């Protein structure tokens, strides 16, 4: 059976670590980046994220991220839309 390679950037939520540690049969995750949880949850970081979110909403700009990989598909866990010709999936939750 051909394994599907999935490039993934890990968000701060523990569910993403769970996904990578226990992949479905036939899936290989390639971790392309991981959020530093201590910095992510720091009060200053929260203010910076909120500020950036407000600016993006005002102008109606989605979060776009260039993505280069040899994986078969990209799984974005931080609500970022990958800029790539590869197929991709975005997981997003609002706070």
Domain that holds residue 55: 4-90
How many domains is the chain partitioned into structurally? 1
Phi, psi (rounded to 5 degrees) for 42: -65, 140
Residue 71: CB atoms within 10 Å = 20
Domain assignment of residue 73, yes or no? yes
- When pLDDT is cut at 50, 70 and 90, the band that residue 1 belongs to is low
**50-81: pLDDT as tens digits:** 888 888 888 888 877 888 888 999 888 777 78
- Which pLDDT belongs to residue 22? 92
**2-32: pLDDT as tens digits:** 899 998 887 777 788 888 899 999 999 888 7
Alpha helices in the chain (DSSP H): 14-21, 37-40, 43-59
Domain assignment of residue 95, yes or no? no
pTM of the model: 0.67
Domain assignment of residue 45, yes or no? yes
């Amino acid at each position: 059976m051909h394994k599907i390679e999935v490039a993934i950037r890990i968000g701060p939520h523990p569910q993403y670590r769970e996904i990578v540690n226990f992949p479905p049969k036939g899936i290989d995750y390639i971790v392309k980046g991981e959020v530093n949880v201590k910095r992510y949850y720091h009060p200053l970081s929260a203010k910076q994220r909120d500020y950036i979110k407000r600016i993006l909403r005002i102008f109606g700009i989605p979060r776009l991220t260039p993505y280069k990989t040899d994986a078969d598909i990209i799984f974005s866990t931080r609500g970022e839309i990958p800029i790539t010709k590869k197929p991709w999936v975005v997981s997003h939750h609002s706070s």
